[in-house]
């Protein structure tokens, strides 16, 4: 999708026979008033060389966008104050280790019910690691360890008497790459209900239809439920994975960059789906796409990396966590502002 206009620090080498810089005929036409405001398709038009002869824009020609670029996307939310729904996850000073390597440290945040919480930040900042902490997906990785307290509706998720499979049944997860089972579409959806003891065919049929409808996939696959799920397109596969997740009726849906492998149309459908599912579930989404976070989320947590001098390794930290409208219009931390304006990251 749209990305912030990138200042061309070093202009690309010019083809031979081009106009010299400063020549008014070759000057890059920058429409006034476009530097600030909603990114429209025109933003891209301005990046495309209209004549094939004009020199590439230079640094002086492009203004660095301000945080206001995103404000327009979240303004409508800012008008209505965020409701203080009950806290689902309460993380206190969470640290995650892979062996001796500390991937994240000192994360304290509360995730609220029936809201979409987005985790954003540069690569390696621990967004995904934090997400996987929320449904105990680290248990299956040898050497991974969680310290600190993660409570779910007041229950310590990492208490010895808590069963990880039960946690994961209540807290579902959609992965970055669509990962349907090499089975039929029907069996993909029915797998979860089956392991939870639903055996009767009529009941399974109903769950399959309901889940596929909720994931806006039913009309596309109703005639080929018995066909392999691997024959679906990438966007359909990802919606199938969402349908599979909600088939077990979870309370929370965690999404790990669910649109990174999809085209803009499929992304739009999944974002639409997230907004619809919000009334039923609590959603936490990790995304690299800031516009996506601004468009869909209610609250945003910005993570970044910090060099751990003692161990000489990078550790992820939580910088700022607030209402999305605030993060994208008036972030209180300079690092957040630098990141969302594209000056860093």
**Cα–Cα distance, 109 to 323 (Å, whole number):** 12
Site string for other proteins, 25-64 (x = CB under 8 A): ---------------------------xx-----------
**Cα–Cα distance, 55 to 11 (Å, whole number):** 9
CA 43, 45, 50, 55 dihedral sign is positive
Is residue 160 at the binding interface for other proteins, with CB under 8 A as the rule?
no
Out of 68, 169, 278, 314, the only residue in the binding site for other proteins (CB under 8 A) is: 169
Out of 3, 40, 108, 196, the only residue in the binding site for other proteins (CB under 8 A) is: 196
Is residue 233 at the binding interface for other proteins, with CB under 8 A as the rule?
no
Is residue 98 at the binding interface for other proteins, with CB under 8 A as the rule?
no
Question: Starting at the edge strand that comes first in sequence, how are the strands of the sheet with 299-308 ordered?
Answer: 155-156, 144-152, 87-98, 101-112, 313-323, 299-308, 116-120, 282-286, 252-256, 171-174
- Determine the interface stretch with other proteins among 27-35, 101-109, 164-172, 198-206 (rule: CB under 8 A): 164-172
**Minimum distance between the CB of residue 168 and other proteins, rounded to whole angstroms?**
5
Is residue 13 at the binding interface for other proteins, with CB under 8 A as the rule?
no
Is residue 241 at the binding interface for other proteins, with CB under 8 A as the rule?
yes
8 A C-beta contact, residue 70 and residue 340? yes
> What angle do the packed helices 201-214 and 185-195 form, to 10 degrees?
110
Is residue 245 at the binding interface for other proteins, with CB under 8 A as the rule?
yes
Type and span of the H or E element at 254:
strand 252-256
Is residue 192 at the binding interface for other proteins, with CB under 8 A as the rule?
yes
Is residue 173 at the binding interface for other proteins, with CB under 8 A as the rule?
yes
Is residue 295 at the binding interface for other proteins, with CB under 8 A as the rule?
no
**Minimum distance between the CB of residue 179 and other proteins, rounded to whole angstroms?**
4
Alpha helices (H) in the chain, listed in sequence order: 42-45, 68-79, 127-133, 164-170, 185-195, 201-214, 218-221, 234-246, 264-277, 290-296, 324-329, 334-340
**Cα–Cα distance, 144 to 104 (Å, whole number):** 12
Is residue 162 at the binding interface for other proteins, with CB under 8 A as the rule?
no
Provide the binding-site residues for other proteins, judged by CB under 8 A: 15, 52-53, 135, 137, 140, 142, 165-166, 168-170, 172-173, 175, 177, 179-183, 191-192, 195-196, 227-228, 230-231, 241, 244-245, 248
């Amino acid at each position: 999708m749209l990305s912030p206009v990138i200042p061309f620090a070093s202009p690309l080498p010019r083809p031979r026979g081009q106009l010299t810089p400063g020549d008014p005929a070759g000057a890059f036409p920058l429409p006034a008033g476009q530097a600030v405001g909603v990114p429209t398709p025109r933003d891209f038009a301005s990046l495309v060389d209209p004549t094939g002869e004009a020199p590439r824009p230079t640094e002086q020609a492009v203004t660095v966008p301000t945080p206001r670029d995103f404000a327009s996307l979240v303004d409508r939310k800012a008008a209505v104050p965020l409701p203080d729904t009950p806290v689902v996850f309460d993380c206190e000073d969470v640290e995650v280790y892979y062996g001796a390597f500390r991937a994240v440290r000192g994360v304290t945040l509360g995730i609220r019910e029936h809201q979409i919480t987005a985790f954003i930040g540069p690569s390696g900042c621990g967004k995904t690691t934090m997400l996987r902490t929320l449904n105990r997906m680290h248990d299956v990785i040898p050497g991974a360890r969680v310290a600190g307290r993660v409570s779910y509706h007041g229950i310590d998720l990492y208490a010895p008497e808590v069963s990880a499979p039960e946690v994961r049944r209540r807290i579902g997860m959609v992965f970055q790459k669509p990962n349907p089972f090499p089975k039929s579409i029907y069996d993909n959806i029915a797998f979860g209900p089956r392991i939870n003891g639903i055996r009767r065919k009529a009941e399974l049929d109903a769950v399959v239809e309901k889940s596929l409808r909720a994931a806006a996939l039913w009309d596309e696959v109703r005639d080929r439920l018995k066909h392999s799920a691997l024959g679906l397109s990438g966007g359909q596969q990802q919606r199938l994975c969402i349908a599979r997740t909600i088939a077990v009726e979870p309370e929370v849906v965690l999404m790990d960059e669910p649109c990174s492998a999809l085209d803009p149309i499929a992304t739009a459908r999944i974002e639409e789906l997230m907004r619809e599912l919000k009334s039923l579930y609590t959603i936490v989404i990790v995304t690299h796409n800031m516009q996506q976070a601004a468009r869909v989320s209610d609250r945003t947590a910005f993570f970044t990396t910090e060099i751990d001098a003692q161990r000489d390794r990078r550790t992820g930290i939580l910088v700022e966590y607030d209402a999305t409208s605030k993060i994208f219009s008036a972030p209180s931390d300079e690092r957040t502002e630098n990141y969302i304006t594209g000056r860093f990251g």
